Amino acid sequence: MTFSERVIGAAKLDTRVYAEVEADRTATRQAFAVIAMATIAEIISRTRLGAGLVLPILLGALIGWLIWGFLIYLVGVYLLPEPATHANIGELLRTVGFAASPGLLNVFAIIPIVGAVIRFVVWIWLIMATVVAVRQALDYKSTGRAVAVCLIASLVGFAVRLILAVTFVGMTFLTARSLIF
């Protein structure tokens, strides 16, 4: 299957594509490319973002993908495994990376008036694709369990970002304050 066929199949929520990507150790670069392309589509749709922000946003998205895959791995394999669960971090990174394929459509969110609707539809589609990817990568029979893994990983990820943000803001405040006094 070609890269473009994989991207389209993943967007169609085709479990065969996710199974193929999961098993293909060489598809990690392709998953990386999907994340990068979906991020660029998002950047294009937000015309107010300056060119200087492209690299930091892209880097943040790729780091986020690695962290997201790792969190899903930990929750799915260690906290909520099913008897048939067998996965490694590479399998999760590949499937979750391809689950970002609907994000390519965010490029159309640049269209005035309908952009917000497009962005919302793509967001729902991304959630569904991620659940399919997680279910496939973790060999779950239950979609509900895949949803639970995604929710728990999201909550943990949110908590980590919040702690980092508060820490960073606090450090910035203390640094600025020490410069003043």
Percent of the chain with pLDDT over 70: 91
Distance CA 94, CA 98 (A): 6
Torsion sign (Cα): 109, 114, 118, 124: positive
What pLDDT sits at residue 44? 85
CA distance 68 to 150: 9
Taking only the tens place, the pLDDT of each residue in 26-71 is 999 999 999 999 999 988 887 776 667 788 888 989 999 999 999 9
User: With a threshold of 0.85, does the pTM exceed it?
Assistant: yes
Q: Which domain holds residue 20?
A: 3-180
Which residues lie below 8 Å from residue 134, measured CB to CB, with a gap of 6+? 72, 76, 92, 95, 96, 140, 146, 149, 150
Task: Report helix angle 3-11 to 115-137, nearest 10.
Answer: 100
Round to whole Å and give the CA distance between 96 and 126. Answer: 10
Whether the pLDDT of residue 178 is over 60: the answer is: no
Question: Is the pLDDT reported for residue 173 higher than 70?
Answer: no
Report the number of distinct structural domains present in the chain. 1
Please give the Cα distance from 2 to 58 (Å, whole number).
24
